[in-house]
Structure formats: structure tokens, C-alpha cells
Amino acid sequence: MATKKKMSVFTLSMMTVAAVVSLRGLPMMAKEGLSLVFYILFSTIMFLIPASLVAAELGGAFSDKGGGVYTWIKEAFGSRWGFTAIWLQWIQNVVWYPTVLGFAASCLAYLFMQPAMAQNGVYTGIVILVCYWMATFLTLAGTGVASSVTKYGVLLGTVLPGVVVIILGLLWIDQGNPIAFLNAGQVADVASKLGHPHARLFPHITGLGSVAFLAGIILLFAGVEVHAVHANEMENPSRQFPESMFLSAAVIFLLFMLGSLAVAAVVPASEISLTAGLMQAFKQLFDKFDIGFLTPVMGLLAAFGAIGGVMSWIGGPSRGLLETAKQGEIPPFMAKVNKNGVQINILLIQGVIVSLLAALYFIMDNVSVAFFVLSAMTVTLYLVMYILMYAAAIRLRLTRPDLPRSYKVPGGIVGMCLVAGIGLIGVTFSLVVGFFPPTNLPVGNPALYVGLVAAGLVVFVGLPLVINACKKPGWRQVGK
């Protein structure tokens, strides 16, 4: 057993950063102009910090058990809700794959020196299918291969491009170039409506549709808990897992805040593409500093980072779902593993779902709208899981106060209620606004948009409850 406990704090932190940070999120935040500062601070205070603290406590308390959120919530509310939680973490992640790989497709368009292809739905759909199935086959090769690709993917494809865009953005500002998010016309227009000179620091709110992007931005910070399933692979999980949570949270905040500001400084909000915005900024920056030949290189690295993020997620929630299969929560065939111990049938099933969802890119005219519809559907599913996680943390403090916890949210039960309560308020608000079409995107028929998001929520939350109602005692003996 000792030979398996090899994962370091740095490796798990980088895997967590890979699961959370996708440079695809920088254009979404940059599109909000200077008010992105408000959105990021809101997401950090109301979501990232509470989620990191709660995940650190629960991960340390159950570090000797597999299953991640499945185990945490099962211990608090029983197997039905534990299964529902890991199902939601898994299925939202399946819905999310086409969005992050849509970003990878836009990066590869710049590698091929054909930026216009980033807005072509057929091209985007094809790249999603090829990259996803390639990542799946690499994951089937075992945890060692997946963790290596993930670690180097986040370092070379996320951290490095993130640092480059931040440094070049600072140089852009230092040399006196125009700062897009301080565009006089935009500021004056909004200031005239709000009556103060710093209008862009706060969203111009005329309705919930005005802050609909908040739901998508909250999603960008989600996932700090996903690699709790690997806690028992560490040398000293009770100490190292919380450390990895805090290190990854700091890296996530810095990359998102500074990176999105850099993109917003260079590309006007009205011209930012949700899928290709990062590469738009890189092209403009590289051309400005006469190093345009690096644009395709950066496109390749950013695409590699996106694929590394996908691999990080493929191995996390699906492994948690495998644990539920061993516990008899889902049909026995879902518990099948290959010679490397990887959950082969679960990965193949999610591959089919991803392939069907990728079809949205083939049939929707606006790639950015397809991207955001999938993001909105994803965030509603994930936020329901976070509601269960926060509620479980509070309940376990009340019902199992003597449970050994290597890290405890400070302040006793009051502190836990405060931290988890803030998290609950944040996710509930984001869940509500996620149903409102964003005012700054041409979504077409608003009723269709709301219908798609609502249908996704009802279907994907209802499925685990139906499966749980149909489970049979004999399922538990299979796959152990």
C-alpha cells in the first residue's frame, strides 16, 4: 500500500489547478471590462474560499476512504444523496467537456494560422470529438499517464501562457498603449446612467440578465474538491491534502485576476470572442512586440493545457462514480475496470454523451452562444452538488463532532455555519441567475435558452434519483 502513496502536495495542487483553471475563462471575465474585478472578488469570497476550506476539512476527515464528495455526503445524508452528489459532479463535468475543448479548438485555429476557423461550428465540433477521445484513450492507460499529462499540461499549457499574457499585458500598459477596459466612450456611457465616474468597477444591473455571466464565472472557480479522491495516495493525506487546497486556491485567484485584466486591457469588450478571446489578445500582444511568430506556438500550448484539464477531470469524478458502482449504487457493468484499474465502461458512456453534446456546435450559428448555453447548463448542475456539500459539512459538525479532522474550519460550529453559509448564499444566487439569458450575448429565443437550461437540470438531477429507486441488493457484490 505504501508504494501507492506517492502524490506530492505540488502534484495534487497542479492537478487541482488544472481541474479549476482553464484559460478559456479569461475572455468570459474580460468581456465584463473593469467590472471583472467585482465578479472575481465575488466568486473568490462567496465561492472559492468557502469551497476550499470545506473541501480541506472533509477531505482530511475522510482521507482514508475513496469516493470524494460521494463519501462526504453519504456520511451526512445517506447513500441516495451521496450518489446524487457524485453523479452531479460527474455529469456536469461531462456537459463541460465540449466547452473547454471548444476553447482548445480556437487555440488550434491560431496554430494553423487560420483565426477565422475559431468561429466555425463544424471545425469546432470535429476538434472536440478528436481531442476528447484522444484524452479518453490516454486516461485508459492508467493514473500515472493521466497525472503526468495533467501536470505538464497545466504547467506548460495553463500557467506558462497565463504568466506570458500577464507580463505582456503589463508591458502593454507600461508603454502607454490604450487600455481597452478604460475606453472613454464605454466609461462615459455607463457613468451617465449610474451617475459616478467609476462605473465599470461594478456591473450595470438592469435585471438578472445583466449578471447572468456571474453563473459562468462562478463555474470557472469550481472544482477544488474534485481530486479529493486522490487524497489517500499521498504520504500524509491528513496534512498534505489541506495544504494542496490552499496552494491551488492562491494560484487560481492570481491567474484569473491578472490574466483576465491583461486580456481586457488589450482587446475591446465588444470584440472579445468567448472561445478565441485569449488568442486574440496573444496575437495583438505578439504583433505589437514583433514576436508574432510565437502566436501559433502559444495556440498549441494553450490547447495542450485545455486537454490536460480535460484529463484531470476524466480521472476524478468518474473514479468517484466507480466507487458508487462498487457500493452497489449503479448497475454492475459500470464497475468494470481494465487491466490498469481504470473505469472503462464509465469512460465510454461519458464519451458517447460528450459526442452528442458536441453536436450543438454543428447546429448553432453562433459558437459563443453554444459555448455559453453549455456553460449555463453545466453550472446549474454543479451548483446543486455544492449545496449538498456545504449542507453535509454543517450536518457532520453537528452529528459527528468527534470525527477526526486533520484540518477544521476555524470558529467551531459557528465558524463552519458562517463559512458554509456564505458558500450556500453564493451558489444559490448563482443558480438563480444562471437561468436568465445574458444581455450581452445574442441568445436568440430567450424561452428556448431557459428551456434548455431547465431541461438539463431536471433530467440530470432526476436520473440519479430514478437509478437509486431502481437499485438492487445484488449490485453491491459486483466490482469489489
Q: SS3 letters for the chain?
A: CHHHCCECHHHHHHHHHHHHCCCCHHHHHHCCHHHHHHHHHHHHHHHHHHHHHHHHHHHHHCCCCCCCHHHHHHHHHCHHHHHHHHHHHHHHHHHHHHHHHHHHHHHHHHHCCCHHHHHCHHHHHHHHHHHHHHHHHHHHCCHHHHHHHHHHHHHHHHHHHHHHHHHHHHHHHHCCCCCHHHCHHHHHHHHHHHCCCCHHHCCCCCCHHHHCHHHHHHHHCCCCCHHHHHHHHECCHHHHHHHHHHHHHHHHHHHHHHHHHHHHHHCCHHHCCCCCHHHHHHHHHHHHCCCHHHHHHHHHHHHHHHHHHHHHHHHCHHHHHHHHHHCCCCCHHHHCCCCCCCCHHHHHHHHHHHHHHCHHHHHCCCHHHHHHHHHHHHHHHHHHHHHHHHHHHHHHHHHCCCCCCCCCCCCHHHHHHHHHHHHHHHHHHHHHHCCCCCCCCCCCCHHHHHHHHHHHHHHHHHHHHHHHHHCCHHHHHCCC
pLDDT at 86: 85
- Determine contact, residues 387/420, Cβ cutoff 8 Å: no
- Determine contact, residues 230/64, Cβ cutoff 8 Å: no
Q: What is the CA radius of gyration of the chain?
A: 22
pLDDT at 439: 64
Ramachandran class of 411: left when φ > 0, alpha when ψ lies in -120 to 50, beta otherwise? left
**Angle at CA 305, nearest 5°, toward 460 and 240?**
80
Question: Rounded to an integer, what distance in angstroms lies between the CA atom of residue 41 and that of residue 424?
Answer: 16
pLDDT at 196: 43
CB atoms within 10 A of CB 247: 17
- Residue holding cell 482553464? 22
Helices 367-399 and 49-61 cross at an angle (nearest 10°) of: 50
Residue 234 pairs with which residues in a beta bridge?
7
Q: How far is CA 478 from CA 68, 140, 340, 472, in A?
A: 20, 21, 18, 11
- Determine contact, residues 119/110, Cβ cutoff 8 Å: no
Longest dimension (CA), the chain: 70
- Determine contact, residues 235/139, Cβ cutoff 8 Å: no
pLDDT at 405: 82
Residue 7 pairs with which residues in a beta bridge?
234
Per-residue pLDDT tens listing for the chain (480 residues): 344 556 788 888 877 777 777 777 787 778 777 777 888 888 888 888 888 889 888 887 887 776 578 889 999 999 889 889 888 888 877 877 887 788 788 888 888 778 778 778 788 889 889 988 988 888 887 666 667 777 788 788 888 888 898 898 889 888 888 888 776 444 444 444 444 444 456 655 555 555 666 666 776 777 777 766 666 677 777 778 778 878 888 888 888 888 888 888 888 877 777 667 778 888 888 888 888 888 899 888 988 888 877 877 776 677 778 878 888 888 888 888 888 778 888 889 888 988 888 887 777 666 566 666 666 777 788 889 999 999 999 999 999 988 888 778 888 899 999 999 999 998 888 888 777 776 655 556 677 777 878 888 888 888 888 888 888 887 875 444
pLDDT at 322: 82
57 exposed, middle or buried (CB, 10 Å; 0-12, 13-18, 19+)?
Answer: buried
Could you give phi then psi for residue 405, rounded to 5 degrees? -125, 115
pTM: 0.75
Residue type, 163: V
Question: Rounded to an integer, what distance in angstroms lies between the CA atom of residue 120 and that of residue 124?
Answer: 6
- Determine contact, residues 139/146, Cβ cutoff 8 Å: yes
Q: How far is CA 224 from CA 12, 15, 71, 370, 434, in A?
A: 11, 10, 16, 26, 21
The set of residues, in sequence order, having a beta carbon less than 8 Å from that of 439 and lying 6+ positions away, is: 206, 207, 209, 210, 212
